[in-house]
Amino acid sequence: MNQQRSRGSRPTLPSPSTGTLGAAVAVVALVLGFLILRDVRGDGGTASVVPVTDPTEQTTPEGGSIDPNAPTTTVAFAVNGFKIQVANASGLAGSAGDLTLKLQDQGYVVQKALNVAAGTAKRQKTGVFYSVGCEAASQNVAAVLGGNVEVGAMPNPVPVETATVGEACILILLGTDLANKPLAGVVGTGNGQVVQTTTTTVTPAAG
C-alpha cells in the first residue's frame, strides 16, 4: 500500500520591514545627490562664488584701493630746495622787496627782488609761475601766499626787467592784492624748515 507522502509546508520569507526599506531609499538618494552635486561643481556649471566688497573700501582711478585703516605717511617738502624770483607788478614801490624778506623768513631761497619789464601792465591779482619740474613747488608757494593767486607755466618771454629769472624756477608777479600784506597761508617755521604734507596708503590693483 502506497503511503501518501505528506507535503511539507514551504518556508516563508520574512517580508521586508517598511522602516528598513525607507532607510535604504534615503541612503541611495543621498549618495546620488552627492554624486550629482560633485559633477556640477567639477565642470564649472552652476557653482559660483560672489565676491564680497568691503563697503568702507575706497578705490582709485587706477583700480587700486585705499585702506581707510592704513596709517598716513608724512612726506617732507623742503622749502629751500628751489629758488624763487619776486617781481613787482603792483606799482607799489618796495612791495617786491617786502615779500622777498617775508618768504626768506619762512626758509625759502629768494633772489633779489626785481621790477617787471617796462611796458608790462600792472597786475591786480598776484601770479605764481613755474618752470618744468617745479609744479609742486608752485603749489606750495601759492598756498603760502594764501591760495587765491593765479598759477601757471612760466611765460615766454619772462616779463621782468632783466628778461631772465636766473636760477629760479618760480616767478612771483606781485599784484596789488598782496602787496605789502602778510603771508596769508604761512606754514612751516622758517629757517630752512620743511612743510609737512600727508598721504594715504594705496594698495595697487591686482594683476
- Residue 103 corresponds to which cell in the numbers above? 618768504
pLDDT > 90 in the chain, percent: 52
* pLDDT band at 76; cut points 50, 70, 90: low
As a whole number of angstroms, the distance between CA 7 and CA 1 comes to: 18
CATH numbers and ranges of domains, the chain: 78-199 (3.30.70.2390)
How many Å is the maximal CA-CA distance in the chain? 161
Long-range residue pairs from 93-101, CB within 8 A, at least 24 positions apart, any chain: 94/180, 95/174, 95/179, 95/180, 96/174, 98/179, 98/180, 99/172, 99/174, 99/178, 99/179
pTM of the full structure: 0.58
Tell me what the mean pLDDT of segment 50-67 comes to: 56
pLDDT greater than 80 at residue 50: no
pLDDT tens profile 186-205: 855 444 444 444 333 344 45
